[in-house]
Amino acid sequence: MLSAVPPPVTVRVPAKINLHLAVGPLRGDGFHDLVTVFHAVSLFDEVSVAHGDEPGIEVFGEGVTEVPVDETNLAWRAVQLLADQAGRDPDVRLVLRKGIPVAGGMAGGSADAAATLVGLSALWKLDLTRDELAPLAAELGSDVTFALYGGTALGTGRGERIVPVLSRHPQHWVVALHRGGLSTPKVFGELDRLRAGSEPTERPVEPVLEAIAGGDPRQLALSLGNDLQAAAVSMVPELRRTLRAGVDAGALAGIVSGSGPTCAFLCSGADAAMDVATELAGLGVCRTVRVAHGPVPGARIIDNQEAT
């Protein structure tokens, strides 16, 4: 008797911005302790997982030439990890549709890994909850756990310990994509070089948590901060001009997203964000601009043909 092949499952997963990123001193194991506030915004990748006799990955969308299609792709590492855990063969095909800029500091690879865990759990009928997938996510990378949950969350450890943060009010953003990418380990290395062994300056997280709870974008604008920004700007000095241009165009504040080089501009509302985006796009200080809002939910199944 032939067994029916389950239909593909498609998962949508958002990019993140760090509203706050405090980087502790370099640890003996080469990592840094982080205190960060993640905020999921409406730039999405879509990941489809399907049974396939020829396992592999296909990638579509912006920046595809920089995305590996071998076992180094973080989404494929997620397949292998869940297959090991479930005692199955990794006999799946992945299709990644990239809407999150590659190597832009918005955790696109981590998002794809989180989406793959959620999609495969459904495809293989493992029915694992997000809390059950979280330890696997943490094993894959510091930002993968947050992409499972989305919303706004406080992250500690290497960023993988997540606590949701109350934020009822939507925030409106303009995201300016830079021409090249930046390697996250190199940005951390540059920060260590700039600090030259001196203790990091304190960057308390409480003001940003209060501003998120209050919902006033002007208060939030005053409390945004990223320790990696100085390192990213040191490596790509044009970012200084981009950050200034966004504020001159009417944004309340601009910040480098994570390790950069993407810059995120907080605006007072949806209309203001459209105006800022239009003006920035005309200035030629970045490759392209997008408007986005946050918070949005984490990795979610949008198409499970069996369920429809």
Active-site positions?
16, 143
Report the nearest approach of ligand ATP to the CB of residue 116 (Å): 9
Q: Tell me how crowded residue 9 is: count the other CB atoms within 10 A of its CB.
A: 24
Q: Strands of 288-294's sheet, edge to edge?
A: 253-256, 263-267, 171-177, 288-294
Q: Tell me how crowded residue 82 is: count the other CB atoms within 10 A of its CB.
A: 24
Which of residues 110, 121, 145, 229 is near ligand ATP by CB under 6 A? 110
Report the nearest approach of ligand ATP to the CB of residue 58 (Å): 12
Q: Binding of ligand ATP at residue 184 (CB under 6 A)?
A: yes
Report the nearest approach of ligand ATP to the CB of residue 235 (Å): 13
The stretch near ligand ATP (CB under 6 A) out of 21-29, 97-105, 153-161, 188-196 is 97-105
Residue 159 or 217: which CB sits closer to ligand ATP? Answer: 159
Q: Binding of ligand ATP at residue 67 (CB under 6 A)?
A: yes
**CA-to-CA separations, 140 to 37, 86, 133, 284, 306, in angstroms, rounded:** 20, 16, 11, 36, 29
Separation CA 32–CA 257 (nearest Å): 18
Q: Which of 188, 228, 226, 230 is nearest to 205 (CA)?
A: 226
Helix pair angle (130-140, 74-86), 10° resolution: 120
32 neighbors 23 (Cβ within 8 angstroms): yes
Residue 249 or 256: which CB sits closer to ligand ATP? Answer: 256
Q: Tell me how crowded residue 164 is: count the other CB atoms within 10 A of its CB.
A: 12
- Positive or negative torsion for Cα 165, 227, 184, 135: negative
What are the φ/ψ torsions at residue 123 (nearest 5 degrees)? Answer: -60, -40
Contact positions with ligand ATP (CB under 6 A) in 71-90: 73-75
Residue 110 or 152: which CB sits closer to ligand ATP? Answer: 110
Number of residues this chain uses to bind ligand ATP (CB under 6 A): 22
Separation CA 90–CA 61 (nearest Å): 25
Contact positions with ligand ATP (CB under 6 A) in 4-43: none
Report the nearest approach of ligand ATP to the CB of residue 54 (Å): 19
- 199-205-211-217 Cα dihedral, nearest 10 degrees: 50
Q: Binding of ligand ATP at residue 140 (CB under 6 A)?
A: no
Q: Binding of ligand ATP at residue 109 (CB under 6 A)?
A: yes
161-164 vs 152-156, strand pairing mode: antiparallel
Report the nearest approach of ligand ATP to the CB of residue 98 (Å): 7
Q: Binding of ligand ATP at residue 106 (CB under 6 A)?
A: yes
Which of residues 8, 108, 159, 254 is near ligand ATP by CB under 6 A? 108
Q: Binding of ligand ATP at residue 259 (CB under 6 A)?
A: yes
Contact positions with ligand ATP (CB under 6 A) in 272-291: none
Interacting residues with ligand ATP (CB under 6 A): 66-68, 73-75, 96, 102-110, 112, 143, 181, 184, 258-259
